[in-house]
Amino acid sequence: MINEAKLILSTFAKRIPPTVFGPERVNVIVSNFSELKAEHKLLLHDLMNYILTLMVERQASDVEIGGHGCENYVWFRIFGKKERVKDLPDFTADEASVLIVSLLNSNQTKLILEKRNIDFSYTFRYEAENKNIRFRADAYFDLDSLALNMRAINTEIRPVESLGFHANAIRTMNHNYIKFGLSLITGITGSGKSSTLDSIVDFHNKFDPAHVIIIAAPIEYVHNSRACIIRHREVGRDVLSFKEGVIQALRQDPDIIIIGEMRDPDTIMAALEVTDTGHKVFSTLHTSSAVESIDRIIAEVDTNEQDRVRLRLADVLISVVSQKLVPSLDGKRVLAKEVLLVTPSVQAAIKNNNTSEIYMMINQGGPQGMVTMEQDLLRLFQQRSISRENAIAYSNNKNRMLQLLKAV
């Protein structure tokens, strides 16, 4: 199958006229792909599924295909490290572009030619365990040819209780305990934010008779309704934008709204407004600390709106969890997190634009369920889960981390 699929790719690529240069080569691939025989398209899907099967079996989180950067190799990220997969065929830039186009429908190919990027989801049947596995995919241009990242979505959700949160932190996330308010899960790309959100949804799905609306780009884990009724709305597929999804959710009788990412001022404002109306909202940001998350939200909006947003944020924010996946001593990765719970003192600091005071409030808030990133990294180091070097490398405040390590 692999050799047949490789032959199909190389034959197709050779049909691209040598006089066609740059991004026009991708246009030619898209224009002519429909001429491929159905059985050839099926073989390309089989090849992609074979690559994804290897990825799952090697416990890789991501696969990279195509573009100048791959240098004709397929790459996996295994326990945080990118590496070439040398037992897979090499693919030229054109061959990889053909393989990527084989995953897209006609609307998606139009979008990628127009926007130069598209997020989508992909599902395949993993025969070894007789189950479907979903992937979050991003196709884009890299020096005029198509490139692809696909990230495996966990097929099993970790119980929220297993993530190491203090009981008070879990209580603030519980819709039955606090019916409204905004909770943020933050971190860099690949820090497990989506997995934590899924754990929170699953937590409510066990006992809470609520209506949950998930707005994401793309939808990753698909939840089955149990105690909750759970709606999945994929941006670009079921709804046009995050902002539209949030606004429309108000007319859909929700109790909990999950916003996959607050990526622009419009979505931020919509999230604050829907929280103001008495709903419980969870969302994510690409920030590495609780204080940075608060500052980022305020800085994202127009200067004239910042004072108003600061006051609204102080009133609706309940908690911020900032997390990182740190290489562990067993060669895998372990979750480190910073947890801020919004007390009256924290609320006053936000309103008075004194967010620099919040770090010390987290530092001293252990009995209430708070923890700084540095305190949690110290815990992992003392448990012999991570090295001293990684405790320092993954800390937000290096001086504070060194002080903590010196004291033990």
Res. 387: pLDDT tops 90 = yes
DSSP symbol at 190: T
The pLDDT score that the predictor gives to residue 6 is: 92
What radius of gyration do the chain's Cα atoms show? Answer: 23
The pLDDT score that the predictor gives to residue 367 is: 95
| Edge-to-edge strand list for the sheet holding 229-234 | 229-234, 211-216, 256-259, 280-285, 181-186, 317-327, 333-341
Q: Tell me the whole-structure pTM to 2 decimals.
A: 0.81
The pLDDT score that the predictor gives to residue 120 is: 87
Res. 43: pLDDT tops 90 = yes
The pLDDT score that the predictor gives to residue 94 is: 93
Res. 381: pLDDT tops 90 = yes
Report residue 334 as tokens. 């372990």
Helix (H, G, I), strand (E, B) or coil at 217: coil
Res. 155: pLDDT tops 80 = no
Alpha helices in 60-105, H assignment, sequence order = 93-101
Confidence of residue 80 (pLDDT cuts 50, 70, 90): confident
Query: Nearest to residue 358, comparing CAs of 389, 326, 331, 319?
Result: 319
Res. 275: pLDDT tops 90 = yes
Confidence of residue 331 (pLDDT cuts 50, 70, 90): confident
Contact (Cβ atoms closer than 8 angstroms) between residue 75 and residue 82 = yes
Domains of the chain, start order: 2-152 (3.30.450.90), 160-407 (3.40.50.300)
Report residue 7 as tokens. 């032959």
Q: What is the DSSP string of 294-336?
A: HHHHHHHS-GGGHHHHHHHHHHHEEEEEEEEEEE-TTSSEEEE
Higher pLDDT, 129 or 375: 375
Angle in degrees, CA 193, 199, 202, rounded to 5: 145
Contact (Cβ atoms closer than 8 angstroms) between residue 97 and residue 109 = no
The pLDDT score that the predictor gives to residue 20 is: 86
pLDDT mean over 196-201: 95
Angle in degrees, CA 111, 113, 118, rounded to 5: 45
Query: Nearest to residue 198, comparing CAs of 188, 212, 180, 208?
Result: 212
List the beta strands (DSSP E) in 27-128: 60-66, 75-78, 81-84, 117-126
Contact (Cβ atoms closer than 8 angstroms) between residue 63 and residue 141 = no
The pLDDT score that the predictor gives to residue 369 is: 95
The pLDDT score that the predictor gives to residue 18 is: 86
- Residue given tokens 């792909």 in the structure block: 33
Angle in degrees, CA 140, 145, 146, rounded to 5: 35
Confidence of residue 313 (pLDDT cuts 50, 70, 90): very high
pLDDT mean over 304-318: 94
pLDDT mean over 40-63: 93
Contact (Cβ atoms closer than 8 angstroms) between residue 217 and residue 260 = yes
| pLDDT tens string 282-309 | 999 999 999 999 999 999 988 998 999 9
Confidence of residue 21 (pLDDT cuts 50, 70, 90): confident
| Edge-to-edge strand list for the sheet holding 145-152 | 81-84, 75-78, 60-66, 145-152, 131-142, 117-126
List the beta strands (DSSP E) in 153-286: 181-186, 211-216, 229-234, 256-259, 280-285
pLDDT mean over 220-242: 91
Contact (Cβ atoms closer than 8 angstroms) between residue 111 and residue 118 = yes
The pLDDT score that the predictor gives to residue 281 is: 97
| pLDDT tens string 177-197 | 999 999 999 999 889 899 999
The pLDDT score that the predictor gives to residue 132 is: 86
The residues, any chain, with a CB within 8 Å of residue 101's CB and separated by 6 or more, are: 26, 29, 30, 33, 109, 146
pLDDT mean over 173-179: 95
